[in-house]
Structure 1
Amino acid sequence: MKKQLKHILPVILTFITVMLSAVCVNAKTLTNTSQVLTLYPKSSKIYNENRRMYAPANETILNTNLYYGNKATSIKAKKSSYVSAVYHNNYAPALTQDKLYPSAYLKAKKAGTTTITYKIGKQKYSQKVTVKKYANPFKTLKINNLNLASKFKSKSNYTLSYNKYRGKTLKLQYSAKKGWSLNVHYLEDAAVKGTSYRKNWIKANGTFTVTKKNSAIIVYAYNSKTSQDEQCIIFFK
């Protein structure tokens, strides 16, 4: 019996050590990549490809919880006046399937920096979140001879008449302010499935045709210095 225990005891101790190590790893809070959110003017919309719709601009998907239902829970902000959590169902943006996945979003409420904590399964995470106020990224913006850059000084959305421009091919001129880069495309339908919407990119001094009511020019702006992402939209309604 003593000989048997002598052989079995090291195995038991090894098993206990491994299990304790696993528990320790699970209990450790991991630091996730920081995230910069834009605080848009009230009632602003952005195109959310994950939800296939124009959605509230101040809600940004949590960057560890992108598409497939690894739902973050117990989200808490050290400064709750800066950000809070909301939940929405997402489609997988690269696919045409209609299956929905629950996902966590961060709602920007006030400019500043805070730390959030949350869990995915049993794993705890910590993440720095910075909220920056919306800034006009345009140095120039024109549709034919219509100057629009100043229209985005204090808001990120602008609406033009669909009936006025229906079926017309228009010239789009744009340039970015220092530090910003711009990518622009024409979106016919926000509910489009898959990535087909990404085909209609418009170069500076390029053209596009207004083909559908409630279509839009979507401008993706990025500031390399501050890591701030923005969307500006021209709707045709």
Structure 2
Amino acid sequence: MTPRTAHTPLSVEEGQVLLIDKPLNWTSFDVVRRVRFTLNGKKVGHAGTLDPKATGLLIVCTGKKTKSFDEYAGLEKEYTGTFRLGIQTPSFDLETAVTDSRDSASVSLEHLAGAAQQFVGKQLQVPPMYSAAKHKGKPLYAIARKGKTVERQAKEIEIAEFEILSFTPPDVGFRVVCSKGTYIRSLVHDVGTRLGCGAVLTSLRRTRIGPYSVHDAITMEQLDHALSGTNSDR
């Protein structure tokens, strides 16, 4: 099955697999809703959520191709991003206020690289409270926004690669290749805990899902143009 990229024609007769570069501040459902509206309510869904503050590759399926969700959802993911040392927040990113600050001046590039390598391999990860994971039918973020926490079940994930790309204290650039279900915010939080100074995610971009690269994805502007061309008789 060949997903629709910026270089292939769009056809929605039998459904389509779209590679979309999700912009900042859009939810994954915002993208789905835009596609569904343009296609007059045809069946549309995505294979793998991206947080609103994350950008990058989102696979969207339409029509009969929505049966292919599992084929894409289980593929490994690659991300690049940045995190900041010395602070902690309830959401593990900058979406909530800083609740703790610690000195990170003693952390070196060698310390960072060593800590990152300790997380390579299979491990159990607890979903963050600020996530869409469910507890008794309710998303955890809805519980967290009320100032509450609940016990969460750890799930097995695998980090195949964890590379430190840059270090301009207190900011760190990184690349991660991981399994389905990995929370990068939690990974960053755990690295900060391991280093003893705390850390929060400051930016995130999904660059690959299995063999599919964000370099082959279309922007929302390109998507609007392509879809309007297929639905000009609306």
TM-score range, shorter chain: under 0.3
The structure that is strand-richer by fraction is: 1
Bigger RCO (CA 8 Å, 6+ sep): 2
- TM-score using structure 1 length: 0.24
Bigger radius of gyration, 1 or 2? 1
- TM-score using structure 2 length: 0.24
